[in-house]
Amino acid sequence: MENTILFGNGINRLKPDNISWTNLLDNLKESRVFDNDNLPNTMIYERIILEKPIGHKEIKFDEYVAKSKIADLMKDTATNEVYQDLYQLNVENYLTTNYDYAFIDSIKDLEEVNLPIFEYSSEDVYSIRRLKRISNKKEHKKHFWQIHGEIRKPATIMLGLDHYCGEIGKIDSYIKGRYKHNKGKETVIEKSLEEKLKNKRFSETSWIDLFFNSNIHIIGFSFDYAEIDLWWIINKRARMKRSEHGALINNEITFYCDEINPYLKGVLNSMDIKVEIIPSTTGTDKYLNYYKDLKNILAEKTKA
């Protein structure tokens, strides 16, 4: 079975100059300062957009300005050796909720990677098929999916509640076999996930399939409750495993962290997500050392 790594902003935060979510959202507020308290990022973002002084008749134009600012704030996200370590694992698929290109920029320095890296997606807003195939001298399959959009296309940046819910609609259509997209001049309708599982044939059209046909390792990701698209998918998978088709789903999903709220752990376990706690050390390099330890654990788990 193939292996997939899903990573969030945790690895980027190893470099102190990379912008944090708190600072990014505060930048978007401009002069309209308010306390975030425990609000999820989706709600903070929606308040920022809805309270923004009206500049256009359509809110989508004002929102595009905000997303362009996000893209500008993230354009200089630094590279990281941890991404090179992850790339060199026996892993076929990399998923990220990050909008930046730190992963891609980091692996470009590796001699085995062939350039340029080509994109395979015609999506203007959503990111069901936002794939970059990484050609390499070892001829290994390496697919990179930016599932929440990318800064080169600001309209695809997924942060607000409206965008998240629209994405869930697309995911639901994909799973039910109603999702349509163009391939050249041809309109393709994806087969339902149930049919794919029965026939053991997947099209590699979307990262969604990977939650059902690959072993997923989740790292550098807080699994905030605002990530409703991913919560929806793992909940759907858990429910399908309790149905008549449950025996067809044989992959494992593991969430790695150095500590976890017991309530979050309970919910993840109920949705058939394994939680593996890897304690961090102390000192200024504790998180870098944590990812080095995690790399060794993943190397053992994914070895051919």
Tens of pLDDT, residues 216-235? 999 999 999 999 999 999 99
Buried b or exposed e, range 7-46, using 16+ CB within 10 angstroms: bbbbbbebeeebbeeeebbbebeeeeeeeeeeeebbebbb
Does the pLDDT value for residue 56 go beyond 80? no
Task: For residue 225, give Cα distances in angstroms to 95, 157, 203.
Answer: 18, 18, 30
Tens of pLDDT, residues 159-209? 999 999 999 999 999 999 999 998 888 899 999 999 999 999 998 899 999
E strands, the chain, where?
2-7, 93-96, 118-120, 131-133, 143-146, 180-183, 186-189, 214-219, 253-257, 273-277
